[in-house]
């Protein structure tokens, strides 16, 4: 559990850490639970979808695509059934926000999902949850039973003509099931090999080749609050194009790692690390930060970022000045991704950190595309060799060339997710990679932090 | 349907419950595999055939899932299965040392089952609890901040059978307010 910071604005996590609040329906009903479902059912489905569009809410799963816009892309002319899927795979390294919602406030997700299902006219809804969340799946199933008994889910919701079953589906430990088309294949009972877009945009050809909406847990919870506030009011939280709050997950070498919910743009990366998270351990200095889950490009502590924002204003930031919203980390050449901020101090061996990340992607590639399957293995092998006494000066360039041959040449965005860390680490910390080769390469100091 | 796998009544009825939840039977594959694996510890070729028959598929349609997904197995883990998170945020908090401590204390190498079948140890990729790393999962319970000396203590309690229900280490699951 994270200690709440006084400056937070908790909307999604409002009740999660209240010791008196349980994950049962009684607690949820006690704080106005399912009132917004009633409100939504008093509106036409397209009116609800319109509010979501007006809210400007962007997806919290990684890509930041506006949810209302995605819903508009649904192919309604086909006449096929429509499906809703909640992406609860939460597998991007550094991310642990959806866990808090599902374990501590599952009804908020169910209410958000039933509102979304009604708005898009879904025939059936699924929660695809990673298998490591054993208890999470049990909690959700119990909550769904409670919601069904109350008429908030399942047959004839709130006594209306509308029915929508909600099924919890468990994955089996593969990161690629977080990618939405891999997830759909997995939900169809197959290997989670992602599908190529076009033509397989889920909103057109998704589950069973039917129009399907895939949204993240946090995104779907926001839907409930959009109905409560109205899209217009919601859009005033945060900043234009960066509306609502975000739950940032801070991990690594800070004094108080944890999950913190703030209005978009309410604070900078520096304030997050040094104020909210209590800074670094005594005597340490900042070396690098990954701002949006391990797939996001790394930021170097002494780097400067300049250019102009979408609205034309010029910026010139150090790492600590980067605003925490969607556009800030993007302007700095990285991304806010899934909101996972990984902090590294000066005790970290950057090449080992790189080797750790590369081992992850090599383990998780689904293997369909040659550049991704082979490239991720090569990058792992090279960095691992560099960390076990066999580093060569030319390895930095070799790594970069392998990464460059993956990016843009694969079926799914995992290719980029695997290439971006290497491209950014090698370019920004080239000295560290060279030094690995030129330093005497005896046995590693057994006392130093081992990352691979 | 035959019961050549000798599955319990409970598992069989759970399977009967889960299959019709999906518009297409094949979609239930992972859920049925989980149920079978939870009871038998692994899904061998015979189990693949049985599941395939239950879902009107070919055995290869099940086998290809067992060989793809990291958490599916054709051989069982030990009676107590210990998972340690390996990924960067946990590594930055010492998970490699935690894993080594467990190897030493439990007498089993990472990725293997101890000869007597009591313990097995596995490095996992990010378990989505990175703020409280190193994260360790024993069977289905998640433990946080298991590093350095606390990792030693943790392994000792585990060996003595005093981990679960003990005061020293409360799992994430145990510390939730689950109401009544
Ligand atoms: C390799 C890869 C892994 C992903 N993992 C997740 C994940 O664990 N959870 C998630 O919500 N989205 C994940 N995504 C993003 C999904 O593909 C999809 O964009 C998202 O679920 C859409 O929901 P949103 O629009 O509400 O963000 C991943 C994408 C890629 C390429
Ligand atoms: S990019 Fe990688 S993960 Fe994605 S489909 Fe290709 S091989 Fe699979
Ligand atoms: S890195 Fe260990 S839980 Fe995420």
DSSP string, A366-433: -S-SHHHHHHHHHHHHHHHHHHTT---TTHHHHHHHHHHHHTTSSSSTHHHHHHHHHHHHHHHTHHHH
Judge if B140 and B86 occupy the same domain.
yes
Residue B109, domain member (yes or no):
yes
Q: Which residues of A touch B63 (CB under 8 A)?
A: none
**Both structure tokens of B145:** 């901040």
Confidence of residue A5 (pLDDT cuts 50, 70, 90): confident
Residue B60, domain member (yes or no):
yes
Fold of A25-236: Rossmann fold (3.40.50)
CA angle A259, A262, A268 (to 5 degrees): 95
Smallest Cβ–Cβ distance between B26 and the set A139, A188, A257 belongs to A188
Listed in order, the ranges of chain A carrying CATH 1.20.1440.230 are 350-438
Residue B167, domain member (yes or no):
no
Judge if B155 and B90 occupy the same domain.
yes
Residue B175, domain member (yes or no):
no
CB-based burial label for A408 (10 Å; 0-12, 13-18, 19+): exposed
Mutation to test the A interface, candidates B35, B62, B88, B140, most A Cβ within 10 Å: B88
> What pLDDT is stored for residue A227 in this prediction?
98
Report the gap between the CA of B91 and the closest CA in chain A (Å).
5
Judge if B54 and B96 occupy the same domain.
no
In whole angstroms, give the CA distance from residue B86 to residue A343. 16
Domains: count for chain B: 2
Q: Which atom of ligand 2 is nearest to the CA of A182?
A: 5
Q: What is the CATH number for B28?
A: 1.10.10
Judge if B97 and B27 occupy the same domain.
no
- Please tell me the class of the A350-438 domain: mainly alpha
The domain boundary, picked from B22, B44, B68, lies at B68
Q: Which residues of A touch B24 (CB under 8 A)?
A: 188-189, 208
Q: Does residue A443 have a pLDDT over 70?
A: no
**Model confidence over A147-200: pLDDT tens digits?**
999 999 999 999 999 999 999 999 999 999 999 999 999 999 999 999 999 999
Q: How many residues belong to chain B?
A: 180
Judge if B86 and B41 occupy the same domain.
no
Name every protein residue with a CB atom under 6 angstroms from any ligand 3 atom.
A 93; B 85, 87, 89-90, 126-130, 133, 135
Contact A71, A198 (CB under 8 A): no
For residue B130, the enclosing domain spans 80-159
Q: What percent of chain A has pLDDT over 90?
A: 95
Report the gap between the CA of A94 and the closest CA in chain B (Å).
6
Fold of A243-345: Ubiquitin-like (UB roll) (3.10.20)
> What pLDDT is stored for residue A442 in this prediction?
66
Residue B55, domain member (yes or no):
yes
Q: Which residues of A touch B176 (CB under 8 A)?
A: 23, 103-104, 135, 139
**Model confidence over A349-380: pLDDT tens digits?**
999 999 999 999 999 999 999 999 999 999 99
Judge if B92 and B131 occupy the same domain.
yes
Which residues in chain B show pLDDT less than 70? none
Q: What is the CATH number for B90?
A: 3.40.30.10
Per-residue pLDDT averaged across A257-273, rounded?
Answer: 98
Residue B13, domain member (yes or no):
yes
In whole angstroms, give the CA distance from residue B128 to residue A414. 18
Residue B180, domain member (yes or no):
no
Judge if B36 and B59 occupy the same domain.
yes
Listed in order, the ranges of chain A carrying CATH 3.10.20.600 are 243-345
**Model confidence over A374-401: pLDDT tens digits?**
999 999 999 999 999 999 999 999 999 9
Listed in order, the ranges of chain A carrying CATH 3.40.50.11540 are 25-236
Judge if B100 and B134 occupy the same domain.
yes
Confidence of residue A311 (pLDDT cuts 50, 70, 90): confident
């Amino acid at each position: 559990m994270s200690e709440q910071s006084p400056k937070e604005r908790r909307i999604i996590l409002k009740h999660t850490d209240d010791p008196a609040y349980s994950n049962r329906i009684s607690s949820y009903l006690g704080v106005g639970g399912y009132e917004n479902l009633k409100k939504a059912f008093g509106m036409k489905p397209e009116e609800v979808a319109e509010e979501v569009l007006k809210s400007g809410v962007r997806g919290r799963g990684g890509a930041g695509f506006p949810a209302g816009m995605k819903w508009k892309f649904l192919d309604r002319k086909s006449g096929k059934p429509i499906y809703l899927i909640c992406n609860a795979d939460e597998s991007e390294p550094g991310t642990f926000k959806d866990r808090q919602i599902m374990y501590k406030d599952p009804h908020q997700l169910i209410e958000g999902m039933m509102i979304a299902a009604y708005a898009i006219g879904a025939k059936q809804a699924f929660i695809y949850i990673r298998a490591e969340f054993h208890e999470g799946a049990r909690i959700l199933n119990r909550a769904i039973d409670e919601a069904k008994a109350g008429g908030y889910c399942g047959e004839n919701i709130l006594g209306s003509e509308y029915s929508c079953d909600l099924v919890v589906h468990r994955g089996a430990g593969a990161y690629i099931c977080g990618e939405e088309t891999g997830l759909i294949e997995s939900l169809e009972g197959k290997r989670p090999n992602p599908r190529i877009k076009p033509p397989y945009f889920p909103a057109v050809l998704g589950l069973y080749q039917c129009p399907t909406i895939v949204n993240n847990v946090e995104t779907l919870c926001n839907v409930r609050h959009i109905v409560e506030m109205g899209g217009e009011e919601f859009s005033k939280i945060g900043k234009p194009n960066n509306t609502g709050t975000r739950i940032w997950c801070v991990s690594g070498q800070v004094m108080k790692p944890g999950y913190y919910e703030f209005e978009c743009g309410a604070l900078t990366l520096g304030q997050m690390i040094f104020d909210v998270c209590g800074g670094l351990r005594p005597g340490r200095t900042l070396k690098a930060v990954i701002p949006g889950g391990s797939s996001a490009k790394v930021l170097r502590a002494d780097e400067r970022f300049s250019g102009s924002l979408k609205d034309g204003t010029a910026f010139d930031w150090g790492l600590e000045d980067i605003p925490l919203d969607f556009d800030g980390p993007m302007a700095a050449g990285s991304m806010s991704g899934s909101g996972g901020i990984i902090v590294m101090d000066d005790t970290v061996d950057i090449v080992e950190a790189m080797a750790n990340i590369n081992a992850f992607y090599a383990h998780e590639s689904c293997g369909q595309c040659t550049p991704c399957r082979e490239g991720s293995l090569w990058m792992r092998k090279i960095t691992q060799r560099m960390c076990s006494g066999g580093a060569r000066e030319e390895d930095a360039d070799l790594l970069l060339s392998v990464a460059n041959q993956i990016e843009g040449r694969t079926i799914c965005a995992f290719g980029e997710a695997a290439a971006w860390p290497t491209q950014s680490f090698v370019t920004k910390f080239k000295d560290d990679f060279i030094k690995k080769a030129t330093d005497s390469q005896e046995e590693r100091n057994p006392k130093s932090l081992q990352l691979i | 349907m035959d019961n050549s796998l000798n599955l319990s009544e409970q598992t069989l009825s759970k399977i009967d419950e889960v299959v019709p939840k999906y518009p297409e039977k094949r979609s239930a594959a992972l859920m049925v595999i989980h149920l079978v694996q939870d009871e038998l510890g692994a899904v061998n070729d015979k189990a693949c055939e049985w599941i395939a028959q239950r879902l009107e598929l070919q055995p290869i349609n099940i086998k290809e899932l067992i060989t793809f997904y990291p958490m599916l197995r054709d051989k069982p883990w030990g009676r107590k299965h210990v998972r340690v998170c390996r990924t960067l945020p946990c590594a930055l908090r010492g998970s490699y040392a935690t894993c080594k401590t467990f190897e030493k204390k439990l007498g089993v190498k990472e990725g293997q089952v101890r000869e007597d079948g009591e313990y097995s140890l596995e490095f996992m990729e990010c378990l989505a609890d990175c703020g409280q790393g190193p994260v360790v999962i024993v069977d289905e319970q998640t433990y946080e901040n298991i590093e350095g000396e606390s990792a030693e203590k943790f392994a000792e309690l585990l060996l003595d059978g005093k981990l679960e229900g003990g005061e020293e280490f409360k799992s994430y699951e145990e510390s939730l307010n689950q109401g009544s």
